[in-house]
Structure 1
Amino acid sequence: LYHQPKMSQQSMTEIADRIKNMEELCLMDLPNEILTRIFSYLDVSSRLKFRVNKRIDELELNAKNHVDKLEIDILSGRRCRLTDIFCLDEWSCGTLTGKFIRIDRLVNGLNRLSLNASIRSVNIRFIRVNEDYGCCRIIDSILKFKINYLYINPFYHKDGRYELRDLHGPNLSTLLTIAENITHANIRLVWVSITAKELCRIRELMLKRECKMESFSILVDSGVDESFLKECFGVTLEDHLKHIRKRIYRSSNPMLELSSSIPTRWLDLRHFEGNFETYFDRTEDRMEGIIENMIRFALCSESDMNMKKTWGSIIKFDHEY
């Protein structure tokens, strides 16, 4: 049988001293390398509180961080709800339930984290928001990160309805920042300040591969889609509504190829230039009284492009539909 030797009085004293010393240790006694490693596993809510300690704050700003998914619900009253691996509120961290934080505090924290953090996916939802100030500040802070996927969405109710709202604040510089830092952007809000010329600028950057963005879709105000169609492709629409609705497509470039599944309606109107797709879609929800005018730019794979080309027929210019 295995015989365990008796421990001497000296050995027992040494162990007791070690235990006593360990009990006196605290987090700040750990070396910087270990503290930095610990911070890399913390959630955003905890990182936003590091400013209270100068040493920890400096270590946090020097530690590389990666967040897989960040969800932000923007509410009225300049509040928002932040969720990553954990959730954040103003009094505790590391909770697993959605709680609230002031927008000012979130913006300050995101600005600091953007110095050394990357985020794979960001989802921003607008819930009963009556002002653009806080919304634009959060968007500006998020755009300082390098992000693979950015979604800006309206709020969906349990019965499937959603609150479609306008976004007034962002301008061309915001669009250019999106193109520079975001790979895929899907904005399901009506960006009322965007113009046809600005959309042409973004499309040109993507087409020439002069930015990071590979796909971009956005909702625009009524009439902007038709203005962009004319500005970018030289195509105008003529609708005649005397007895039977008729539509005529006019183009200054007879060699241009546009396709549509239903030419009499503004639906599935698309253009390919190489493997680059420009897509227009207008959808109507008569029950909710909602009209969405969506424009999308995207780089397509060859198989995806060939499949989409089979969905519609080529538009005939100067022809009555």
Structure 2
Amino acid sequence: FCNDYIWKMSKDSMDDLTRAMKTMGKLSLMDLPDDLLIKIFKYLDLPTRLKSRVNKRLDQIQMQVPTWIERMDIEIADGTFDGFENWITLDNSTEFVEDIDSLDFQFIDLDDLKNGLYRLNLSNVSVSSIQVLISDWGGDHRSLNYAIGLIFDLEPDKLRIVQHEALLSCPLVGLPPPSSIMHDVRDLAVDYNHLTLTVQHLLTIRQTMVEGKLEYFSLTVNCKLECFSVTVSRELRESFLRECFGVLIERQSTEGGAHYTIYKSDNDSVELYYTKIDVDEQLEHFEGNIQTTVYIDASNVEDPIYIVEFEKLSELPVLDNEKRLKLDHPYLYAIYER
């Protein structure tokens, strides 16, 4: 009967039937509207396989929803020492809402933390500020570096990496390449003196901030980084001053316990400005709209903290020639009691 009926159909009717069959062949459950899919999943007892497919679609929908996170706090540990574990805290707020909704996630191990960060990178998530606390590490530093890389991939506006005060073992942390740092983050502070950071990295970051442009995957893009601060070793600080400004450092001590720092250079026109604040001291340099600061926090004289900072300024300060660095001049660093 069907064959006879189809044989007797007009050409237009046949064409309509053919198009309809082709269209129906391309339709599936996944083509239904999102709100209808949600209702089906909620009210019907679907077979396991079909429910899995709906779950996957719902997950895709969730991943595509734009989400804004004001602040994210992450603690990274590998479980070597008791009392530390991986966790992540997300705080969401806007200027129109006084109350802050806080959501805490506890992760059992490092793999869960890395998987969570990887999922966030696949989501349509914008993060304003991230603070990473390295609290415990005694294992392979490659897993830690992978987690740090995923955090940079989130492209937060501000990122701070610090170490726990009670950290017993300090792993060597590798930051992403300078091009990724300057492309992904606007404000980066690393208070952690165990980095695979070299003097060439510092020179590259500073020069790129001065120029305002960088090469990123064969493209010339604007440098996003506006503020960069990193804790360095004494050796790296001195290497940076030598390579960037041609300044060498000598130290002198007296029998009375006084210690002096003497800055030397073949270039008499070095434009560095010296400031002493209590026991702390800093050298400043200005090029374009970028201020370079090489800072010593000597609150603990026997174990000072050395910091290098680059900051983009909206306008240059009025420079005081009285503070201009005097070459071959003994600057008092500290007095040790004998």
**TM-score, normalising length: structure 1:** 0.70
Equivalent positions of 1:1-321 (< 5 A) are 31-32=33-34, 53-77=55-79, 79-85=85-91, 99-115=106-122, 116-131=124-139, 132-155=141-164, 163=167, 166-171=170-175, 173-210=176-213, 211-243=223-255, 244-262=258-276, 267-286=281-300, 290-302=303-315, 305-306=316-317, 309=319, 313-321=323-331
For structure 1, the residue ranges without an aligned partner over 5 or more in a row are 1-27, 37-49, 87-93, 157-161
Q: Extract unaligned runs of 5+ from structure 2.
A: 1-29, 39-51, 93-100, 214-222, 332-338
Question: Structure 1, residues 78-107: CA drift from partner, whole Å, max 9, x if none?
Answer: 741111038xxxxxxx98566334221222
* Contact 2:88–2:104 under 8 Å retained in 1: no
1:226–1:112 distance in 2 versus 1, CA, 3 Å: same
Q: Which amino acid aligns with 2:306?
A: N
Q: Distance in 2 between matches of 1:245 and 1:155?
A: 31
Structure having the higher Rg = 2
Deviations 1:148-194 (A, max 9, x none): 100111225xxxxx6597451315x4333121100000111014321
CA offsets 1:296-317 (integer angstroms, 9 cap, x no match): 0011232xx427x459711112
> In 2, are the aligned partners of 1:219 and 1:294 still within 8 Å (CA)?
yes
Query: Could you tell me how far 1:71 is from its partner in structure 2?
Result: 0.8
Q: 1:142 to 1:96 in 2, by over 3 A?
A: closer
Amino acid at match of 2:281: L
User: Is the contact between residue 215 and residue 298 of structure 1 (CA under 8 Å) also seen in structure 2?
Assistant: yes
2:190 match: secondary structure: strand
SS at 2:160 equivalent:
strand
Q: Distance in 2 between matches of 1:209 and 1:193?
A: 24
The code of the aligned residue for 2:233 comes to D
Native 8 Å contact 1:70 1:121 kept in 2? yes
The offset of 1:272, in angstroms, is 1.1
The answer (yes or no) to whether the contact 2:86–2:107 under 8 Å persists in 1 is yes
Identical residues among aligned pairs (%)? 29
Aligned AA (1:103): L
Q: Deviations over 1:250-286 (max 9, x none)?
A: 1232222111123998721111113211111122354
The separation in 1 between residues aligned to 2:138 and 2:321, in whole angstroms, is 40
**TM-score, length-normalised on structure 2?**
0.67
Going from structure 1 to structure 2, the CA distance change for 1:312 and 1:297 (only over 3 Å counts) comes to: farther
Q: Secondary structure at the match of 2:327?
A: coil
C-alpha RMSD over aligned residues: 3.4
Q: Which amino acid aligns with 1:239?
A: R
Number of residue pairs the alignment of both structures matches: 263
CA contact (8 A) 2:74 2:133 kept: yes
* Conserved? CA contact 1:260–1:312, under 8 Å: no
Q: Specify the SS of the correspondent of 1:245.
A: strand
C-alpha change, 1:285 and 1:266, in structure 2 (3 Å) is closer
| Matched-pair contact (CA < 8 Å) for 1:247–1:264 | no
Cα deviation, 1:201-220, whole Å, max 9, x if unaligned, reads 11111111122100000011
CA contact 2:75–2:87 (8 Å) conserved in 1: yes
Q: Give the Cα–Cα distance (whole angstroms) in 2 for the partners of residues 186 and 70 of structure 1.
A: 15
CA distance in 2, matches of 1:33, 1:203: 51
Q: What amino acid is the match of 1:294?
A: I
8 Å Cα contact 1:199-1:228 kept in structure 2: yes
